[in-house]
Amino acid sequence: MTKHKDNKTEEQILEAAQKIFQAKGMDGARMQEIADKASINKAMLHYYYRSKQLLFEAVFKKAFALLAPQLNAILNDDSSLEDKIKNFTHNYISFIIKHPYLPNFIIQELNRNPKFIEKIKNNVAFPSIDKFKLQVQKEVKNGTIVSISAEQLFINILALNIFPFVASPLIKAFANVDDKTYKRLLEARKKEVSDFIINAIKK
Amino acid sequence: MTKHKDNKTEEQILEAAQKIFQAKGMDGARMQEIADKASINKAMLHYYYRSKQLLFEAVFKKAFALLAPQLNAILNDDSSLEDKIKNFTHNYISFIIKHPYLPNFIIQELNRNPKFIEKIKNNVAFPSIDKFKLQVQKEVKNGTIVSISAEQLFINILALNIFPFVASPLIKAFANVDDKTYKRLLEARKKEVSDFIINAIKK
DNA sequence: ACATTTGTTAACCAAACGGTTAAACTAAAT
DNA sequence: ATTTAGTTTAACCGTTTGGTTAACAAATGT
């Protein structure tokens, strides 16, 4: 061991930063607030992460590294298309219910700074659509599903799974449902969404 | 006329504020930057709108008032369900291509402050889902579409239409497409999305 | 035992921030 | 021509912000 104390403080900081950044975004977060939540002196944030930007990047990368493997399941798994859609939809919605801030955080911050994705590509295992593309093309050729491009299907799958979490305040207002009812709707989507997609592409 | 000059300045401010707020959000926007973009003195912002918060609210309300009637088309139009989906999808995507910042701005700021929707409800014509609900229930009963709740169908329609604009940096990265290709994909969705939805609910 | 590195703190700093002030300017009203 | 009300500006203000400093404490190496 080169360090005498274990990295408890460093982890506390990252955890606190995660909560604050995900709730308020890069611009809305305050270093003092993160320090308070971590119950340490503000100078420690800079001691361990040098700057707000670098602390933010550490949080973002960690969040992204949590999300990316989920998406990998639909792009590079070996199962059939129908199984993939069923499994992904069920697993992904379960996953996000446990991390409700995640998709919005990532989408929001990528919109704020789209170039950021390049930095991520070098650090986090990044799924590719190639395999999924071949699979969809094959099924279209075989006539088992309607004619659709892999990209459009991919967008549709992501949209139906992620959007309800990202736009929840908007949907709640328009659909006129309270928090409890909305949670029930999301829970039901674990099954509803895959039925919807499979129906949409089945011939 | 009680005022000698027309409200040119006030409009310039609102226009500049719109651009800055929609690009950077409430927290990321700077009053000085808005003033610069409007080519006026910073004090004028406060002369006309008193505070950053009130200026932001003016921008948000204007944006929301632009979006709400669009959603009204799917909820309260008199046409058949199939026509509605076709028309809404085509019109909405055309509309957003012209205002690409809009959905993300509204979603982002509503997530930052969900209570804000209450303020809006009192100021902007707010569509209700009731009529759409009856229509869907009727079609399900008649057996013309599969069993689905109006709320889930509404969420799916919104998701498929809005998400590709909100999450474009994410999708571009995962689907590995450049800006030009992505624009073509969005254009194609004007037809693709309605086909997808109608196929999904048709018996 | 002592020197060195690592961890932690309170106090501090310059810059940026939203907002204010007071004076100058403009144009319609009397 | 003078008053009056609305508009615009430069300079200013108090606070908050991310970040630094220097001194101190604790652990490690020799």
What was the pLDDT predicted at B203? 82
Taking CB atoms and an 8 Å limit, are B71 and A174 in contact across chains? yes
**3-class secondary structure, A202:** strand
**CATH classification of the domain holding B115:** 1.10.357.10
Q: Which domain holds residue B101?
A: 61-201
For A149-179, the pLDDT digits (tens) are: 999 999 999 999 999 999 999 999 999 999 9
Give the distance from residue A45's alpha carbon to the nearest chain B alpha carbon, in angstroms: 21
10 Å Cβ neighbour count for B102?
19
Match 């013309």 to its residue by tokens: B144
Q: Are residues B120 and B80 in the same domain?
A: yes
Taking a C-beta distance cutoff of 8 angstroms, is the pair A126, A186 a contact? no
Q: Are residues B22 and B86 in the same domain?
A: no
Structure tokens given for A93: 């919605």
Taking a C-beta distance cutoff of 8 angstroms, is the pair B106, B56 a contact? no
ipTM: 0.93
Mean pLDDT across B70-97: 95
Q: Are residues B100 and B32 in the same domain?
A: no
Taking a C-beta distance cutoff of 8 angstroms, is the pair A16, A59 a contact? no
Chain A hits for B196, Cβ within 8 Å: 148, 152, 156, 200-201
pLDDT at B92 over 80: yes
B52-76 vs B130-142: helix axis angle to the nearest 10? 30
Per-residue pLDDT of chain A (203 residues; tens, 9 = 90+): 333 445 899 999 999 999 999 999 999 999 999 999 999 999 999 999 999 999 999 999 999 999 999 999 999 999 999 999 999 999 999 999 999 999 999 999 999 998 889 888 888 888 999 999 999 999 999 999 999 999 999 999 999 999 999 999 999 999 999 999 999 999 999 999 999 999 999 98
Give the closest residue to B31 by CA, choosing from B8, B6, B62, B59: B59
Q: Are residues B189 and B109 in the same domain?
A: yes
Which of A111, A158, A196 faces B200 most closely, judged by CB atoms?
A196
Residues of B (47-66) whose Cβ lies below 8 Å from A: none
Mean pLDDT across B51-75: 95
Counting the structural domains of chain B, the total is: 2
Tell me how far apart the alpha carbons of residues B174 and B176 are, in angstroms, rounded to a whole number: 5
| Chain B contact present for A147, CB below 8 A | no
The answer to the question of residue B174 being in a domain is yes
Which of B156, B167, B175 faces A151 most closely, judged by CB atoms?
B175
Q: Are residues B14 and B97 in the same domain?
A: no
pLDDT at B5 over 80: no
For B148-199, the pLDDT digits (tens) are: 999 999 999 999 999 999 999 999 999 999 999 999 999 999 999 999 999 9
Give the distance from residue A43's alpha carbon to the nearest chain B alpha carbon, in angstroms: 24
The answer to the question of residue A5 being in a domain is no
